[in-house]
Amino acid sequence: MSERDQSVGTELLFENDVVRVWRMYLHPGEACRPHMHAHDHVLVYANPSLMEAREQGGTGVIRQPSDEGFVLYREVGTAGLPADHWITNVGDEDSTHYIVELLGPSRSATSQPPVHNGRVISGHAIDW
């Protein structure tokens, strides 16, 4: 996972001066390329997905068991998130979620913790 990519999804669906919308589609066991979020963004999961995220140079794993309709919002701060990361679909089903980047300056001077609507897969917990 050494090749860095500016794409935050697997397919760019729409872009104008205000928003950029991506689809992230991963088969079971598939990982996206390392990327960094430079813009405040919203994630919306279209189906239940068991995802794990890792940061370059880090040793920890972030587990995100998102149910259908899981929505997450993140303010990245003026410098963007501090590290490249990638996600892996560790579930048994294909995973689809959408990333809506809010172009322009972040609403916050510093990176803020993500907030979400709590729709996680029953019997699982988000491990941040």
Percent of the chain with pLDDT over 90: 80
Homologous superfamily of 11-116: Jelly Rolls (2.60.120.10)
The predicted model scores a pTM of 0.91
Residue 58 has pLDDT above 90, yes or no: no
When pLDDT is averaged across residues 20-43 and rounded to a whole number, the result is 96
CA–CA dist 5, 103 (Å, integer): 18
Token pair recorded at residue 28: 């079971």
Residue 109 has pLDDT above 70, yes or no: yes
Token pair recorded at residue 39: 């813009």
**How many angstroms separate the Cα of 30 from the Cα of each of 45, 69, 70, 127?**
17, 21, 20, 20
When pLDDT is averaged across residues 83-105 and rounded to a whole number, the result is 95
Domain ranges of the chain: 11-116
CA–CA dist 84, 34 (Å, integer): 6
Q: What's the pLDDT score for residue 102? A: 97
